[in-house]
Structure 1
């Protein structure tokens, strides 16, 4: 149906407003119905009027033919003329003619302008189609002098009837016009049109009176809906004259109240959220995919030293110099992936720039979401200048204290060692036991100070790394032998295995030994009564792999994410009894990374832990060992 409407372009013809369309369609329907009904009635009336006219003329002709028989026999022309004049007064009649058997007119009358006059034209007359009939009769062998019946001329009809007195003695011709019938027909058509017009006008007037109130109510509803889009909670007067409009008005009033309530709740929540955002210490940025700042909180203004309105519309490269790239979308996507990786779960440290040009360290985390189908990025940025300053002060303090403590501790440790060895004479057993305890604790303090100094150097980037080519298999064997005595304290033996005779790597000999010592000592301490620690050396892809596996209790799940943090020790009941500074794994991780490798672990509670690290192979570009 829609395709049909589009095809005939009814929408271009119909008016725009619904009430106009309804009145137009109803008017057309009523007018067409009236015209069709009037046409059917008028057609039937016309048909009947013509039939009646034909019957009347035929009856008149038969009457004249019967009366004129005697007058024609007596050749009473005057009587015939009076007879014709009398009957010519009847409606429809135009002329009457009586002819003898030889087709000669005996008498005739005609009607002109309503007047009846005799005609004395004695020219022989024949029916209009007599020639056709005579030809037909010639073929059949029966020739009749006349053709009787109804003949239609150009503007009138004529009827030929025989005048008989036992045999045909003449003929009667009546010519009549149905102009009066046509006039009556036109009058009836005019009445039909007038009736259709009056009926259509009456229906449209009644329809307008019926639609005026509901259309006004609809107009009020439309105005109310438009106003509600700007200001909710208003109420519209309810029109109860039509059920549908009443229900619509009532529903709109309820909807207006609901919208106002939701708007108020939404406004309150937005204000609350904005208050929370503005009171956060961390800056929050909302970025478009091209890096433009869509919105930010007060903390961003405080961090970057400018008004938030000044920051809106600025590109992120204005605040983060590293974002000065052509394709901002790719940069943001890659940053999201890096900041949400396993190693950078809380963000990445970057260099930011205040609006006055001052550079400062910051921590930035990005996440991606969508707004109406468009990608946007939400960033949380934190100024870590103060944290960096405190870290530096802490490192300087640790370094100072460590340096100041290491000299007297070394002297104390040496003196205690001499006393324990009997330089001052044999000590009583109780005194020797106390001196041994003091000497052992001084050793632990020296180890802690050394680890603290190493950490300070690593944080400051001053840890000396001398990379050389060495054989990893021999280095691991040597470290196993060096730490075997320590493992024996826990009744543990290291089991070394390797399918390789040698495996050249690029590493620092001393730092590699330090990493191995830290991991081997931890494996021995946390074997939990297991007599063996497996040590394996192998090649993994393009790197050398060292694995140290113990069969202790494993690492608790809640502690696994902190295993490489400073001073981290799992509280498994006997950790503190095992000793240690809690810095060994963090130092080992930093050293492995400094030598170009990776470090990690796999564990299962109750079954043990495997620590592993990789080192780059000492190969040249051709793949040959150096």
Structure 2
């Protein structure tokens, strides 16, 4: 609606400061209002004064016409001239002329510069029959310009009045000037202009006095706001003389207190976060996209054997040699992409270098984020030299167990078996019990050693998995037959319930048998006097499903989350009697997942447990099951 005002850009003509703008606008408004009011008043006064003058001249003319009628009849020209002289002295009158019925001048009086003179110009004059006022030109300027030439006003006028005595015996011409009226009005206009100037100046002075305090308060508020941007918690004196400024100052004081409180909280949190970062064992690196280290914690300096500040601004190719083989930004992006492409990957092992030049193994986790629209990388680095040393010790221990312990233990176990079977002759019953106990414990030791070796291979990723196509139902039947003797020790019978006669899967036959043996043995051990363990084989959702259900006491609720952990055994009162290493289910889980399947369980205390695992079908069986 006011777009045209914006187009004019009137603001560029205004002063810059708000007080000056207010004074300018108020001054212009007061001056304009005064000028308009003065102009209207002057115009009305001029119009009224001119009307009064016109009425007076008309009345005078009628009086002269009335009195001159008898003098014209009597031809008393001298008295007639005296009559004209007397009336010509009145204001506004310029000249008076009397003509007879034939328009011949009888007598006239002219006022020149205030002096009355008789006129003896007896040339014929054409009298007007109208009594209306008309202007005339006496050779001088009959018009005056007002308001800088915008308005022109006529000043010289004449009227003709008939002189009658029953009939018209002559005419009276009365000429008059309104210069005095106009001069008086111009004087009034001058006074109006003077009044306008005085009023405007007074209003501006009063406005300046009134604005001084709020403008000073506003200046203080501005200075306070600028200072608060640097240092909060200061308070500004509140000026209550103006409601808006009072509310603004009060709001700023509240804002200052809030900002200070937030700054303190932020400072405390930053200090707390920095304390946490500085006490972490892992090094934290903030890396710019160009590969320079923006910030780090104390642990990072400790890992790289230098002061914390020495790392700031350092390029990562000094601490990560692999990053120097390519563009640093590309290296960072590729590292993040490779890390997050792995399932549950939080980092990768790299070779790092201390600032002294010493190389060491490290675990680096890298993530990408942004800071004010700029890409940055957050790195968490850990020195794994000690872990590598412990891994070597563990490997050496496993090798020792494998070569130095399992071989003689196997020999001991075999010898005890022979003695127990009477190969060396009949032995006393008491001795036979001791030999049986020793042979049983040696079997448990061998099982423990085998499980430990399997766990080591699984952790190291060296457990060979030979995936082949095999018939699952037949493999399960064979495993039940192989473990039937073990189940007989617990007076349990395995019962197979296969909904399919044949189901071909992709699996490692040896590892599948190992998984079945671990789960079946657990089911037999923890049947708690039940007569059977149900085994079911079916096809579900494009996978082969094997379920092994026992009817024992179930798995306690506080142990269910640890069932697949290493050396996990529930404290159910008969763990010692049942035996076991606590590694079977963890190994089974790793083997099933290595073969592309999943493993889990469902249980209810006092009702039993169902362990299940899935295996991928062969292409033909998977297609036929769709």
TM-score normalised to the size of structure 1? 0.83
Cα drift, residue 175 of structure 1: 1.7
Cα drift, residue 203 of structure 1: 1.0
SS in 1 for 2:533: strand
RMSD of Structure 2 on Structure 1 (CA): 3.9
Q: Distance in 2 between matches of 1:82 and 1:327?
A: 126
Cα drift, residue 448 of structure 1: 0.8
Q: Distance in 1 between matches of 2:483 and 2:57?
A: 148
1:599 equivalent in structure 2: 598
Given that residues 323 and 331 in structure 1 are in contact (C-alpha distance below 8 angstroms), is that contact kept between their aligned partners in structure 2?
Answer: no
Are 1:533 and 2:543 an aligned pair? Answer: no
Cα drift, residue 479 of structure 1: 0.5
Q: Distance in 2 between matches of 1:151 and 1:334?
A: 109
1:150 equivalent in structure 2: 133
Closer, same or farther: CA 624–312 of 1 in aligned 2, 3 Å: farther
Closer, same or farther: CA 556–408 of 1 in aligned 2, 3 Å: same
Equivalent residues in 2 for 1:319-468, closer than 5 Å: 332=336, 347-351=346-350, 353-354=352-353, 358=359, 360-362=361-363, 364=365, 380-468=380-468
Cα drift, residue 227 of structure 1: 1.5
Q: Distance in 2 between matches of 1:529 and 1:16?
A: 99
Cα drift, residue 584 of structure 1: 1.4
Deviation string 1:373-429 (CA, Å, 9 cap, x unpaired) is: 999876544333422331331232133034322223222222222232233444443
Q: Distance in 2 between matches of 1:489 and 1:118?
A: 169
Q: Distance in 2 between matches of 1:187 and 1:259?
A: 65
Given that residues 149 and 161 in structure 1 are in contact (C-alpha distance below 8 angstroms), is that contact kept between their aligned partners in structure 2?
Answer: no
Q: Distance in 2 between matches of 1:288 and 1:527?
A: 61
Cα drift, residue 295 of structure 1: 4.2
Given that residues 543 and 622 in structure 2 are in contact (C-alpha distance below 8 angstroms), is that contact kept between their aligned partners in structure 1?
Answer: no
Deviation string 1:247-294 (CA, Å, 9 cap, x unpaired) is: 655665565456445534533442232122112102334578999866
Are 1:493 and 2:493 an aligned pair? Answer: yes
1:266 equivalent in structure 2: 266
Deviation string 1:70-105 (CA, Å, 9 cap, x unpaired) is: 221122333333332332232222222111112222
Q: Distance in 2 between matches of 1:295 and 1:561?
A: 40
Cα drift, residue 178 of structure 1: 1.6
Q: Distance in 2 between matches of 1:299 and 1:2?
A: 65
SS in 2 for 1:394: helix
Given that residues 498 and 536 in structure 1 are in contact (C-alpha distance below 8 angstroms), is that contact kept between their aligned partners in structure 2?
Answer: yes
Equivalent residues in 2 for 1:271-350, closer than 5 Å: 271-285=271-285, 295-303=295-303, 307=308, 310=311, 332=336, 347-350=346-349
SS in 1 for 2:547: strand
Cα drift, residue 534 of structure 1: 3.0
Given that residues 399 and 452 in structure 1 are in contact (C-alpha distance below 8 angstroms), is that contact kept between their aligned partners in structure 2?
Answer: no
Q: Distance in 2 between matches of 1:292 and 1:533?
A: 64
Deviation string 1:24-43 (CA, Å, 9 cap, x unpaired) is: 22222322332233233323
Given that residues 551 and 609 in structure 1 are in contact (C-alpha distance below 8 angstroms), is that contact kept between their aligned partners in structure 2?
Answer: yes
Q: Distance in 2 between matches of 1:371 and 1:428?
A: 83
SS in 1 for 2:469: strand
1:32 equivalent in structure 2: 32
Equivalent residues in 2 for 1:49-60, closer than 5 Å: 49-60=49-60
Closer, same or farther: CA 554–27 of 1 in aligned 2, 3 Å: farther
Cα drift, residue 535 of structure 1: 2.4
2:584 equivalent in structure 1: 584
Given that residues 469 and 507 in structure 2 are in contact (C-alpha distance below 8 angstroms), is that contact kept between their aligned partners in structure 1?
Answer: yes
Deviation string 1:51-80 (CA, Å, 9 cap, x unpaired) is: 210121012112211221122112233333
Given that residues 284 and 381 in structure 1 are in contact (C-alpha distance below 8 angstroms), is that contact kept between their aligned partners in structure 2?
Answer: yes
1:80 equivalent in structure 2: 80
Greater alpha carbon shift after TM alignment, 263-272 vs 511-520: 263-272
Q: Distance in 2 between matches of 1:408 and 1:55?
A: 153
Given that residues 290 and 329 in structure 2 are in contact (C-alpha distance below 8 angstroms), is that contact kept between their aligned partners in structure 1?
Answer: no
Q: Distance in 2 between matches of 1:236 and 1:325?
A: 50
Q: Distance in 2 between matches of 1:439 and 1:624?
A: 50
1:48 equivalent in structure 2: 48
Q: Distance in 1 between matches of 2:540 and 2:290?
A: 42
Are 1:611 and 2:605 an aligned pair? Answer: no
Aligned length: 601
Closer, same or farther: CA 529–380 of 1 in aligned 2, 3 Å: farther
Given that residues 110 and 117 in structure 1 are in contact (C-alpha distance below 8 angstroms), is that contact kept between their aligned partners in structure 2?
Answer: yes
Cα drift, residue 486 of structure 1: 1.4
Q: Distance in 1 between matches of 2:383 and 2:327?
A: 17
1:216 equivalent in structure 2: 216
Deviation string 1:127-149 (CA, Å, 9 cap, x unpaired) is: 5xx5xxxxxxxxxxxxxxx2233
Cα drift, residue 240 of structure 1: 6.2
Q: Which consecutive unaligned segments of at least 5 residues does structure 1 have?
A: 131-145
1:133 equivalent in structure 2: none
Given that residues 292 and 314 in structure 2 are in contact (C-alpha distance below 8 angstroms), is that contact kept between their aligned partners in structure 1?
Answer: yes
Closer, same or farther: CA 269–149 of 1 in aligned 2, 3 Å: closer
SS in 2 for 1:389: helix
Equivalent residues in 2 for 1:175-194, closer than 5 Å: 175-194=175-194
Q: Distance in 2 between matches of 1:294 and 1:67?
A: 118
Q: Distance in 1 between matches of 2:574 and 2:3?
A: 85
Greater alpha carbon shift after TM alignment, 328-337 vs 189-198: 328-337
Closer, same or farther: CA 44–453 of 1 in aligned 2, 3 Å: same
TM-score normalised to the size of structure 2? 0.83
SS in 2 for 1:149: coil
